[in-house]
């Protein structure tokens, strides 16, 4: 563990300041209606997830399995310097500019046509930040004349989108207590909605909304039972019921970080945020379900109240964070159309819920080996545990009995976002096949220190592959096709009306597949592992694709035997743009 945090603390290198170029006056940017319409508009990419529901689907069809062979690189932009590491960002495109975040809390504005930098903002990171899982940043949010992003020292920063000048900077929480922030913000009704990171440090997860113009806090909703929310500067309501699922004072250090950010469904006017693992990992120290960890929360964007919740792993003892995105879609089944939401959880099950009330509709395995539970009981919504697959209780100073559990704590699917195609009615899920030796250890809470109470070693399940891109039918839970990859898949997925699915690999490739058959139809090597999320848009009658390249993230830091297998992958830090030229 000490080695891990020494590695992560490289992020404490001071940033190089602020470089400015480009126009002096800010033009009007996207408003609420533009953001809500992002999934249908094709000339830009205005939101993380390519629409608030985060289906990551574009109706563009110039690129298809036949024409994609003509997709060629246009330019590549380097993030520069020695600050490479994991690049997990998704670009935004608006009015001739690409906005993209980089590792170490950096933000760039780049000319779409030329790849020339317009401006760069380097956040000044203090000494002693404690990111658990590399110095990544997953993206920004655009609204009117500003662009917003979260930083590793747990701040939310608003910049003028045309100059890169800081408009306001607000503290989310105390980085010295283990808080950080890596997710792309979400804009809803003039509010910037964010979460927090730091579940491995015994923090309190939360979702908060700030006025997009001023940065002032509107509401805050803790994700651990017993903690009070706020609304307009005053206490509002308690999250859950005090000590209902947490004993004593454990709710004060309960974890449940909302480190992946959220999605928004305009049809039900609901935010969906996933919550992380309970703290510590040692489940014997915290009896009960430990609400609302390892869950999906449906939140009212007006006041932060919880409408409903669904807990995927009650009393989590394997670090199966429930942060993965809930993607809203219309489930057409048995002659009915249901307002549904789907989630590929770290615990290995693919869940379909009624997004109006959180009722479980189905839960199916999307990986080949799940040891911690026999199944998910659809009537109760709860897992049927394999009790002998929970790590043993420590005795005195001695660690508890070790068990081999699958999936590993890095998850059947980790942060990397899946995609949904309304055309094929399939989800495209980046999955990983691995397990872990895991055991519990004695632990006590200390502010700002790792709060795990567990040890582990991750191991691949198969000799020929770890990663698997899988097309899943949400009506049946069945896997329609799969692509197997030697290294873990750690990047996001894009699908299009042209019957294509794009994703990246640690081996450096951006790949395209036939969305119906899974046949690989195109690939390009970017020179470093691709762990970012690709996007597509149309400009001057040509279809473009962009992706960030740069190997890193949690796998090299936490991956155990898997980390050894991928140790020779080159790091990087660059933005690649491709297009299909006019005939």
Residues with Cβ within 8 Å of 82's Cβ and at least 6 positions away in sequence, in order, are none
Measure the CA angle with vertex 137, ends 134 and 139; round to 5°. 160
Question: Distance (Å, rounded) from C-alpha 4 to C-alpha 112?
Answer: 37
Question: Distance (Å, rounded) from C-alpha 265 to C-alpha 328?
Answer: 7
Is residue 319 annotated as a catalytic residue, yes or no?
Answer: yes
Q: 414: annotated binding-site residue?
A: yes
Of 424, 411, 414, 426, nearest in space to 477 by CA: 426
> Which phi and psi (to 5°) does residue 413 adopt?
-140, 130
In 522-583, where does DSSP find H-type helix? 554-558, 561-565
Largest CA distance in the chain: 73
Q: Please give the radius of gyration of the chain, using alpha carbons only, rounded to the nearest integer.
A: 22
> Which phi and psi (to 5°) does residue 212 adopt?
-65, -25
> Which phi and psi (to 5°) does residue 244 adopt?
-70, -35
For the chain, what's the residue count?
583
Contact 301, 264 (CB under 8 A): yes
Question: Distance (Å, rounded) from C-alpha 218 to C-alpha 83?
Answer: 35
The strand order across the sheet containing 360-365 reads 327-333, 336-344, 349-354, 360-365
The strand order across the sheet containing 228-231 reads 186-188, 191-194, 206-211, 217-222, 228-231, 234-238
Q: 425: annotated binding-site residue?
A: no
Contact 92, 42 (CB under 8 A): no
Q: 67: annotated binding-site residue?
A: no
Give the C-alpha distances (Å, rounded to integers) separating 147 from 192, 194, 559.
10, 14, 34
Q: 138: annotated binding-site residue?
A: yes
Q: 239: annotated binding-site residue?
A: no
Which residue is catalytic, options 265, 316, 319, 345?
319
Instruction: Give the three-class secondary structure for 547.
Output: strand
Q: 182: annotated binding-site residue?
A: yes
Q: 6: annotated binding-site residue?
A: no
Annotated binding-site residue numbers for Ca(2+): 200, 277, 319
Annotated binding-site residue numbers for pyrroloquinoline quinone: 88, 138, 182, 414-415
Which residues are the active-site residues? Answer: 319
Annotated binding-site residue numbers: 88, 138, 182, 200, 277, 319, 414-415
């Amino acid at each position: 563990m000490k080695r891990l945090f020494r590695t992560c603390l490289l992020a404490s290198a001071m940033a190089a300041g602020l470089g400015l170029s480009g126009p002096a006056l800010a033009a009007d940017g996207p408003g609420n209606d533009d953001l809500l319409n992002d999934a249908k508009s094709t000339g830009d990419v205005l939101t993380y997830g390519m629409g608030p529901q985060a289906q990551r689907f574009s109706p563009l069809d110039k690129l298809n399995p036949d024409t994609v062979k003509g997709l060629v690189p246009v330019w590549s932009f380097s993030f520069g310097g020695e600050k490479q590491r994991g690049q997990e960002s998704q670009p935004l495109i608006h009015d001739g500019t690409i906005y993209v975040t980089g590792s170490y809390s950096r933000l760039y504005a780049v000319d779409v046509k030329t790849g020339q930098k317009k401006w760069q903002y380097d956040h000044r990171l203090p000494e002693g930040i404690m990111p658990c899982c590399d110095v990544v940043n997953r993206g920004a949010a655009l609204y009117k004349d500003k662009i917003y992003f979260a930083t590793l020292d747990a701040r939310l920063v608003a910049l003028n989108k045309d100059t890169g000048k800081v408009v306001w900077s607000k503290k989310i929480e105390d980085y010295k207590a283990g808080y950080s922030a890596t997710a792309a913000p979400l804009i809803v009704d003039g509010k910037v909605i964010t979460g927090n990171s730091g579940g491995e440090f015994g923090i309190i997860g939360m979702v908060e909304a700030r006025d997009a113009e001023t940065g002032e806090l509107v509401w805050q909703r803790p994700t651990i039972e017993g903690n009070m929310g706020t609304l307009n500067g005053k206490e509002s309501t308690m999250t859950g019921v005090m000590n209902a699922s947490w004993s004593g004072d454990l709710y004060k250090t309960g974890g449940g970080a909302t480190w992946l950010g959220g999605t928004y469904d305009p049809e039900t006017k609901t935010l969906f945020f996933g919550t992380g693992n309970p703290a510590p990992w040692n489940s014997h120290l915290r009896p009960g379900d430990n609400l609302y960890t390892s869950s999906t929360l449906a939140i009212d964007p007006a006041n932060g109240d919880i409408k409903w919740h669904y807990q995927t792993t009650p009393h989590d003892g394997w670090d199966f964070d429930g942060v993965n995105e809930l993607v809203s879609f219309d489930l057409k089944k048995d002659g009915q159309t249901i307002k549904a939401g789907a989630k590929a959880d770290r615990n290995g099950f693919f869940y379909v819920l009624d997004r109006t009330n959180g009722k479980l509709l189905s839960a199916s395995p999307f990986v080949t080996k799940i040891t911690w539970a026999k199944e998910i009981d659809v009537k109760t919504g709860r897992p049927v545990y394999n009790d002998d697959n929970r790590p043993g209780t420590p005795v005195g100073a001695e660690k508890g009995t070790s068990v081999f559990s699958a999936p590993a704590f890095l998850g059947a699917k980790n942060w990397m976002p899946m995609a949904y195609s309304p055309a094929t009615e399939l989800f495209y899920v980046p999955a990983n096949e691995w397990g872990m030796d895991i055991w519990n250890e004695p632990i006590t809470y200390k502010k700002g220190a790792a709060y795990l109470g567990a040890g582990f070693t991750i191991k691949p399940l198969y000799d020929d592959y770890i990663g698997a891109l899988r097309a899943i039918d949400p009506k049946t839970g069945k896997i329609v096709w799969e692509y197997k990859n030697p290294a873990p898949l750690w990047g996001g997925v894009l699908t299009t009306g042209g019957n294509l699915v794009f994703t990246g690999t640690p081996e450096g490739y951006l790949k395209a597949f036939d969305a119906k058959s899974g046949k690989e139809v195109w690939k390009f090597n970017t020179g470093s592992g691709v762990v970012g999320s690709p996007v597509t848009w149309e400009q001057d009658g040509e279809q473009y694709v962009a992706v960030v390249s740069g190997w890193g993230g949690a796998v090299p830091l936490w991956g155990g035997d898997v980390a050894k297998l991928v140790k020779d992958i080159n790091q990087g830090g660059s933005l690649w743009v491709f297009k299909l030229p006019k005939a």
